[in-house]
Amino acid sequence: MQIDKLFNESENPPSIVVIDRVLPEIDSGKFAIKRYIDEEIKITAHLLVHGHDLPKGRLWYRHETEKNYTKVDLVSKGNDEWEASFKPKKLGRYLCKIEAAKDSFTTWTTDLKKRINAQQDIKVDLQIGESIIKHTWRHTPQGKHKDILGEALRTIGTWSSEKSQTPKTILNFFSSPVLEAAMNEFFENPVWYDHELPIQVEPLLARYSSWYEFFPRSTVSKDIPHGTFKMAQDRLNYIKDMGFNVVYFPPIHPVGREFRKGKNNSTKAEAGDVGSPWAIGAKEGGHKDILPALGTLKDFKGLIEKARSLKMEIAMDIAFQCAPDHPYVKAHPEWFKHRPDGTIQYAENPPKKYQDIYPFDFECKEWKSLWQELLSVVTYWVNQGVRVFRVDNPHTKPFHFWEWLIREVRLKNPEVIFLAEAFTRPKMMAYLAKAGFSQSYTYFTWRNVKWELTQYMTELTQTELKDYFGANFWPNTPDILHEHLQEDNPGVYKQRLILAATLMSNYGIYGPAFELMSYQPKEKGSEEYLHSEKYEVKNWNLDDPRSLAPFIRQINQIRENHPSLQQNRTFRFHPVDNESIIAYSKTHGDEKIVVVVNLDSRRSQSGLVELPLIDWKIAESENYEMEDLLTGVFYTWRGWRNFVELRPNQPAHIFKLKTHKNKLVASGANA
């Protein structure tokens, strides 16, 4: 509100109510907060009035496709804090606004109660109350509420004096919920919060997802050198058995031949080398086409249908870049940056050169036609049935482009989910989330010790990031084999899997490299895989007896069976007197899941874990049981500090807290 403008242009005094500290909102309503279908959306605000007058307020909300708003009363939570909530029933964008006004009636009834309790004369007070109701009746449109107010006035008119009614009768009359509701309809001289609050409502899959990445071209056998979509259909059963609900493919388009990369990222390809699928485009087509060796569009759509029948979604890679022989290069040279010698600028990250990749020039004169074409790529695949996209390096394209593209897609298809593969600076990652990305890759891969994990999870779950940044934790990717995983040690792979799957409700792995513990780097000090699958077809032995697939299945089943692990809003850490052990919990209703992890992959560690018994309404003298969901064993705990010991080969407890006796009880928690 501009006070000088108000003073100079308004004949009436401004409302005495101030709306302050509205939460959640992002950058004063510039960007939408993220919520999920059928999840309660809670809006809070501070309503302030000078003196002792009381305010009232309400939240108005509508889906952007609807004209009419629905209103919900703001409820006082004390200390000038008010809140309202609603559950969205449609995907897409909602718009909210907040209205407030002085609550003359509640202020009066509050004072009346005090006067009656003090046994003061209330004759004049009743006249004031009658005038307040009469004033409201005059400004209330015809209908139920006006009828209620009219009946109230007639009742008051029958009172010859306040002595004809007992104080209790008077208070009960004016405190009637029916009368209060009717009085609350009229807001005199209201004030509105100065902007609307946008809320993007996304599918539950955006909040809770377990991703499995694999290369469909590697679904091979001794007799078949290149995998196909039909062969990948068989792999879906294996992935479903492990409990994943999103299957992500690297790009499935024709791979460029010019400057094709060879095995181990060699700059020279040999005969038969398949190249990197991220070098998109060849004579067979571009971003709207499929690599013929994988199959046909019909095969791909059949794969989507098979996945959906297994309650999984296929995630498609969107990499907006071109191989030198992509059809766009000849058809639209104006979309690319040209060097002084007339050649097209290939991708560089000095001193590295990527001659097999041409980036688009988003600042070219023909930028509008470029944007429209790239939007058409996404909408084309949406029309083929794709509902989830993993976007490659979005931080190397303009933010406004993504904001526009995602908005355009969701106007027709609000169910579409976008994952940003943006290993970049924190503020850039955050802005991409504001621009509309549902989820984002994170720094989890490089957060391994207790203080790093604690600091990072606190940032993700306790700051404003929690309202718009959908973190997705990946222990590995085809590009990243962290040194932590560069050892033949099943315990460390289990540790990183448990952390990813229980710290965050969205997580993923690159397989079969992860479950088969492919641990050899290209060279010492490198995070690249030796014989990287990015540049060659792999024949994985899924029947390897050392495979972690059964353990992964167990972790995903625990996630599926426990709603606490399907969200991040209740996440909290718990003290442990050992820097090599980390403990945290998530809750949902009465369910409490406590996770304790040994961060030392080589040695057993023990310590005392502290739990918030007061918050969880458990008496310090009360026995309670901790069911280890990994082993099925029950441990009896008592008090707020209890002992745990974890060995490297069994690096964690995933406890479900219970306050009643169970069959198998062990004293202490030694694993």
Q: What is the mean pLDDT of each run of 10 residues along the chain (671 residues)?
A: 69 89 97 96 97 96 97 97 97 98 95 91 89 94 93 85 72 92 94 97 99 97 90 97 99 97 94 96 98 98 98 99 98 97 91 90 98 99 99 98 99 98 97 99 98 99 98 98 96 98 99 98 95 97 98 99 98 98 98 98 97 96 97 97 97 93 45 46
Phi-psi region of 575 (alpha: psi -120 to 50; beta: other; left: phi over 0): beta
Beta pairing, strands 652-658 & 591-598: antiparallel
The residues assigned a catalytic role are 392, 421
Q: What is the DSSP string of 209-259?
A: EEEEE--GGGB--SS-SS--HHHHHHHHHHHHHHT-SEEEEPP-SPBP-TT
Contacts of residue 165, defined as CB under 8 A and 6 or more positions apart, other chains included, come to 159, 173
Q: Check whether the bond before 216 is cis (ω within 30° of 0).
A: no
Q: Which residues are annotated as a binding site?
A: 261, 321, 356, 393, 534-535
- The confidence score (pLDDT) of residue 653 equals 99
C-alpha closest to that of 56 among 74, 68, 72: 74
Place of tokens 């077809």: 537
- The confidence score (pLDDT) of residue 164 equals 63
- The confidence score (pLDDT) of residue 161 equals 52
Find the helix packing angle between 367-383 and 399-412, rounded to 10°.
Answer: 40
- The confidence score (pLDDT) of residue 670 equals 52
Q: Which domains does the chain have, with CATH numbers?
A: 3-201 (2.60.40.10), 572-658 (2.60.40.1180)
Residues 6/12/18/19 CA torsion (nearest 10 deg): -80
C-alpha closest to that of 511 among 232, 225, 229: 232
Are the CB atoms for 275 and 345 separated by under 8 Å?
no
- The confidence score (pLDDT) of residue 659 equals 86
Contacts of residue 174, defined as CB under 8 A and 6 or more positions apart, other chains included, come to 109, 112, 129
Cα separation, 46 vs 78, in Å, equals: 10
- The confidence score (pLDDT) of residue 661 equals 40
